[in-house]
Amino acid sequence: MRRKTRTVLVGGGGITGLTAALALARAGFRVELFEQAEGFETVGAGLQVSPNALAVLDQLDLAHRVKAVATAPSAIQVMSASSGRQIVAIPLGTHATERYGRPYLVVHRADLQQVLASACADNPDIHLHMESRLDDVATHANGVTALVRQGTAMNEFTGLALVGADGVRSRLRELHFEAGPPIYSGLTAWRALISAELLAGKGSGGGNTESTQLWLAPNAHAITYPVRGGRYLNVVVITRAPLEAQSASDSDGAGEVKAAVRNWAPSFTALLDHKARWTRWPLYKAPRLRRWCDGPVALAGDAAHAMLPFAAQGAAMGIEDAAVLADCLRRAGDTGEEAGTALAQYEQARRTRVARAAQLARTNRLIYHLPPPMSWARDIGMTVLGGKCLLARQDWLYRWTPKKLEDPY
């Protein structure tokens, strides 16, 4: 790579974009990051930070900050939504830490984003541009030139490469990779945060704030876990729903959620009696892409491969992408290769693993939503296998660790 500049442009200030900026800075690059929002979100849903994602954050010296705002559930309790009984408990807590070298965490998305954004703001090699929309990009012999709308002005920024981390509705994906819009999955997620104070004294069941609970029902499932130091229970109910009249801003959905789970066990439906703001989120997938990279331009995270949340790996795959991409660019700089070659190596390194994670999500969707009598066989099979065996089946996923990002300067 003929280094006429050590600047990399990043489009998107979500989990993937912020992690990419930090990983690139650690690898010796300067970063210009563009986020079209006025500020980083303070609302949102919970997400799960599995050991493979935490390995990247650990390498960026952020694991301790994430742990301070996250919770480490003791187990995943797989529950029957019809009976309210536990099918199996998959051990996490100390068992996961001993098995993978790092804990399995759950965290509010805004809390994780704030940790990443603060680290970016503190890094002199990262420049955050808010209210800045990436409008177009051109490639040339020296790298890339991006056209960025900032208020009423249109400004140009140059770099050796551009990383598009602008999410499932990626503008860069449509502009530069001629891809179609995201694809609706036929599923919608209803999300809410319920105060732990309201749950106090209500017993275990759906109000458990020590463990993650996965509730299985025909054509639907729900997941609950504690966030923000256990002060809130994050509740997500995923059901089939037509796309018509849906939006991500609906917030008066308690009635619709109650209708969707009306035949579920009281230990779960009692959660809906508590005051909470329910928000509807239609679930989309990224269109299938022939390539993620085009010369010095690459997509990462949901922009490249948005998947359904049935494996809890959407954010984790984006965090992994960030580390691998930064390492490929660093090694290309050391050997004199071009940025386009480095990004092609990044895509080659990530394709198979991301595809396997996406397949796991598709398989879990089928398993979670089975109707009787197939669901009865599923429940028996899970019970016979046991929680430790079910966790061991994910070893390929959770034992992944990134190569060390060493500053070459």
pLDDT in tens, the chain (409 residues): 445 679 999 999 999 999 999 999 999 999 999 999 887 766 567 899 999 999 999 999 999 999 999 999 999 999 999 999 999 999 999 999 999 999 999 999 999 999 999 999 999 999 999 999 999 999 998 899 999 999 999 999 999 999 999 999 999 998 889 888 899 999 999 999 999 888 875 444 456 778 999 999 999 999 999 998 888 999 999 999 888 655 555 455 788 899 999 999 999 999 998 888 899 999 998 888 999 999 999 999 999 999 999 999 999 999 999 999 999 999 887 777 899 999 999 999 999 999 999 999 999 999 999 999 999 999 999 999 999 999 999 999 999 999 876 655 3
Say whether 400 sits in a helix, a strand or coil.
Answer: coil
Bridge partners of residue 233, in order along the sequence: 194, 226
pLDDT recorded at residue 29: 96
End-to-end CA distance of the chain: 15
Question: What domains lie within the chain, and their CATH numbers?
Answer: 7-182+286-398 (3.50.50.60)
Distance CA 409, CA 398 (A): 32
Alpha helices (H) in 217-338, listed in sequence order: 254-260, 266-269, 302-305, 314-335
Distance CA 365, CA 359 (A): 10
Reported pTM: 0.94
- Is 225 a residue of the active site? yes
DSSP state of 310: G
> What single letter denotes the amino acid at residue 380?
I
Q: Which residue has the tokens 């960030």?
A: 322
Among 104, 225, 346, 368, the active-site one is 225
For 256, counting Cβ atoms within 10 Å of its Cβ (0-12 exposed, 13-18 middle, 19+ buried), the class is: middle
Distance CA 90, CA 53 (A): 19
Residue 65: which of 111, 115, 27 has the closest Cα?
115
C-beta separation of 181 from 54 below 8 A: no
pLDDT recorded at residue 248: 52
Rounded alpha-carbon distances, angstroms, from residue 230 to 60, 78, 199, 271? 25, 20, 11, 16
For 136, counting Cβ atoms within 10 Å of its Cβ (0-12 exposed, 13-18 middle, 19+ buried), the class is: middle
pLDDT recorded at residue 386: 98
Distance CA 51, CA 38 (A): 32
Q: What angle do CA 289, 293, 296 make, to 5 degrees?
A: 160
pLDDT recorded at residue 409: 37
